[in-house]
Chains A and B, each alone.
Chain A
Amino acid sequence: MKKFLKQFFLILISVITITIITVYIIELVHELLICINHLYQMVVNEMLVGTNYVDKVILNMNLNKHAA
């Protein structure tokens, strides 16, 4: 009985750990993909309206510098 309980709780802890790690990894990947998607959409939108994305970022940075 003691051996059974020891084995059971050891496996139970492993199962809980695996579940938590898996869910967290999935959430992390999910968030990462959302970020990549936002970035992608932003770049595509900039390209579609014909503005140079990098130039605009530099422009914004300069404006912020002046504002500061």
Chain B
Amino acid sequence: METKQTSLTPLKAVDRIQSIDIMRGIVLFGILLMNINGMALANAYGDPTVSGGATGWNLYTWIATNMLFEGTMRALFSLLFGAGMFILLNRLEKKGAGIKAADIYFRRLMWLLLFGLIHAYLILWTGEILFAYSLMGFLVYTFRNMQPKKLIIIALVLLSFGTLWNYADYEENAKFIKNVSIAEQFKSEGKPLTDELKTAQIKWEELQKERSPEAITEYNSNMQKEYFSVVAFLAPINIYYGKLYSYRYDVWDILSMMLLGIAFFKLNILSSEKPYAFYFLMATFGYLVGLTTNYFEIAYIMKQNFSWLSFSKTNITYDLGRVAVAIGHVGLIMLFCKSTILSQLKKALGAVGKMALTNYIMHSVIALFIFTGAGFGLFGAFQRHELLYIVFAIWIFQLIASPIWLKYYYFGPLEWLWRNLSYQKRHPLKKKNWAQKK
């Protein structure tokens, strides 16, 4: 196989697809909007009654973020990652890189795996996604030459598997709750408990303990300790996620969206080339299905007074709601990209998107210094709605800093490092230096 090594260079600025960068910038901000709940509050990412407040503005914040952003931002991030990896591979193969293309592709993912581990265990973000992206990225390689129609079908099959698993979990949880209530009844009547009922009762007590104010206070105090104590405290949680998530969630949740991303890219949907009417219909259909589903989920959870089982039940339609809203977001963002309005904002968002890895890690570094004992130790100190001020401040900072950085440098610092490691070659970073060399 012929390999032209000389032409194997990273994508130049002029070749980049602006709409994808803008979308990546928007999605990165949406990711922070959701992640901040896990970064600053104990066990409150899903259930607002555990910590962070569940009344007034805190409740409105929970409703709004769950209606529009929960799961949808992760879906779009995965979608863009899939498209991005396909663009890289496609470009290298078109240049006749041959087997070298696969070499660069897999090396890129292996380094991402390492970045993910550092991000989770040392920068201390347990909701870290790079590790999962790396593993799912490996699988994406096989699907690169597949027709968009087939990719969409496989993505839907994967999503359906996830939904079926959620349903199976709900059935199991419903049985468990039933056993708990039988155990309580038996106990009040003085009847002996069977082994199954005893196990259910112990598990329920453990669950209640995890959600208790005492457990939250303990969690908060552990997060407020000095850096190495927090590392030790979070390591078992990270190990647990590393073991469980790859087969329980990542294949259905992440891989499906990556494949959808490649399909959308091949169909020229992500490059804003389709007519206005297409994106308008996409947004309308996506929001109609997605927001309706999300509304019923949220209304049900609130009606059930945030019961543990209500979260499990609404998980059955979770993927339907989030993927549909995500498709709605794609339509809306592409309409925004096609329009001529707010060009300065688009430019800034595009810069944020170009430096997505740096900005993503920066979120965790900022959170590390604000919330853990390595910095101010403010974990658990803010209410849910107050966290929005921090999120907005970070958005503004990155909207200003990213275009300024890219004015002087070709890549974000981490993007530069990642490229150098992937291509095993030092690329110029400073724009001035590159110009001088030329």
Contacts and interface: CB of A to CB of B under 8 A. Distances in A.
A38 to B, nearest CB: 11
Q: In which size bucket is the chain B interface?
A: 10 to 19
A12 B117 contact: no
Chain A CB within 10 A, most for which of B113, B238, B246? B246
Contact of B242 (A11, A12, A23, A37): A23
Contacts of A7: 141-142
Contact of A4 (B142, B236, B239, B242): B142
A37 B232 contact: yes
A26 B236 CA distance: 10
Nearest to B114: A22
Given A33-B232, A37-B232, A26 B242 contact: yes
Q: In which size bucket is the chain A interface?
A: 10 to 19
Nearest to B120: A26
Interface string B90-118: 00000000000000000000000100010
A30 interface: yes
17 contacts: A7-B141, A8-B142, A11-B142, A14-B138, A15-B138, A15-B139, A18-B113, A18-B135, A18-B138, A22-B113, A22-B131, A22-B242, A23-B242, A23-B243, A26-B121, A27-B239, A33-B232
Q: Mostly helix, strand, loop or mixed at chain A's interface?
A: helix
Given A22-B131, A23-B239, 10 more contacts: A8-B142, A11-B141, A15-B138, A18-B113, A18-B135, A19-B135, A26-B239, A33-B232, A34-B232, A37-B232
Interface of A: 4, 7-8, 11-12, 14-15, 18-19, 22-23, 26-27, 30, 33-34, 37
B107 to A, nearest CB: 13
A4 B154 CA distance: 14
- 10 smallest CB-CB distances across A and B, nearest first, come from A8-B142, A15-B138, A7-B142, A23-B242, A30-B235, A15-B135, A19-B246, A11-B138, A23-B243, A11-B142
A30 B239 contact: yes
A37 B235 CA distance: 14
A55 to B, nearest CB: 29
A12 B139 CA distance: 7
Interface in B227-248: 232, 235-236, 238-239, 242-243, 246
A4 B117 CA distance: 30
Contacts of A26: 117, 121, 235, 238-239, 242
Contacts of B246: 19
B228 to A, nearest CB: 9
A7 B113 CA distance: 21
A12 B243 CA distance: 16
A7 B232 CA distance: 39
Contact of A30 (B139, B142, B236): B236
B117 A22 contact: yes
B1 to A, nearest CB: 15
A2 B144 CA distance: 16
Contacts of A37: 232
Contacts of A23: 239, 242-243
Contacts of A19: 135, 242, 246
Contacts of A14: 138
